Amino acid sequence: MPFEVYTFRSSGKRLFAGKNTPHFHAVYGIIAHKQTIMQDIQTEMRNRAKELLESKQAGLVVGFTLDEYGKPTPAFITDPDDVGRLVWNDDCVRSRHNLVGCLKRDEVRKLGKPAVVVNAAGKRAFNVLIAESQREPGDVVLIDMEPEPRDARFDERYAKLAMLDTMSREERFAFWKKEFTRCFKCYACRQVCPLCYCTQCIVDKNRPQRIDTSATLKGNFAWNITRAFHLAGRCVGCGACSAACPAGIDLDLLNLSLARAGETHFDGYRAGENPDTLPIIGTFSVEDKETFIR
């Protein structure tokens, strides 16, 4: 690995009971065993976070804590005595918070070298930041909660596109028109994305005014399509944008469509798998396929 990663090996334990175990006891055994493993991982994560802070290897640990409703929310720990606030449970595993997105905040940068709890999507996002010279390998300690790659996730998420694949061009336009009508330009999708790091976003520029800032259908199309193209070949599929959208727009569908196109037309390319591989939009080869030209 080109950067410092702390991996939890215990997360690879098997989570099933014996074949001859009665059904009820088998299910109970799975749950009990899984809870024990989660608790072990959480304890190990807290110990590692405390070690990093006490040794000054990190000035800040970014992880999950529980909000007032018992749901995972980002936590920023600077005091070793506060690591007990960090949690890791099933909701954290399923969470679409990409904590790497917190690294672009100025207030986080001021606290020194961060250690960040990441899953597979978080690692890929950090790889893209390295490839785009936004981060150096030694800038961050990654606390890796998902050591085994889960490539099947891409295939599972691509299955969501089946609905759009069956539509005609006119039907797809009608679908997105209905979706984008709900957008009211809060820019939550931009704020949570680890790869939207421009100092000044194109939508904030007004000389000239390239994108209508009001929540009109024309402006909504311009904003969401522009953002999707800016993420083409870069999106790591974490789903943070869809999770953050208060209007419930599945923005993931746009990004997944472009990610699948990149994988199909550029020899299986997947964003963030290798920090030494430049994003496809930022490179050119005379051998690039030109079948899209009509």
DSSP codes joined into one string, 225-256: HHHHHHTTTT-----HHHHH-TT---THHHHH
Give the least confident one: 73-82, 205-214, 247-256. 205-214
Pick from 278, 279, 2: nearest CA to 140:
2
Q: Percent helix, strand and coil across the chain, each rounded to 5?
A: 50, 10, 40
For residue range 98-126, list pLDDT tens digits in order: 999 999 888 888 899 999 999 888 999 99
Bond preceding residue 208 cis, omega within 30 of 0 = yes
**Comparing C-alpha atoms, which of 11, 130, 113 is closest to residue 61?**
113
pLDDT of 142 over the 80 cut:
yes
Ranges of each domain in the chain: 4-144, 152-282
Q: Residue 196 and residue 137: Cα distance in Å, rounded?
A: 19
pLDDT (tens digit, 9 = 90+) per residue, 56-78?
Answer: 999 999 999 999 999 999 999 99
The per-residue pLDDT for 28 is 43
Residues 6+ positions from 200 with CB-CB distance below 8 Å:
none
Note the pLDDT of residue 15. Answer: 31
DSSP state of 138: G
Beta pairing class for 72-77 and 60-66: antiparallel
160: DSSP letter: G
Q: Please tell me the predicted confidence (pLDDT) of residue 19.
A: 38
The identity of residue 179, as a single letter, is E
Query: In this predicted structure, what is the pLDDT of residue 20?
Result: 41
- The least confident of 20-24, 161-165, 189-193, 266-270 is 20-24
Residues 42-65 have a mean pLDDT of 95
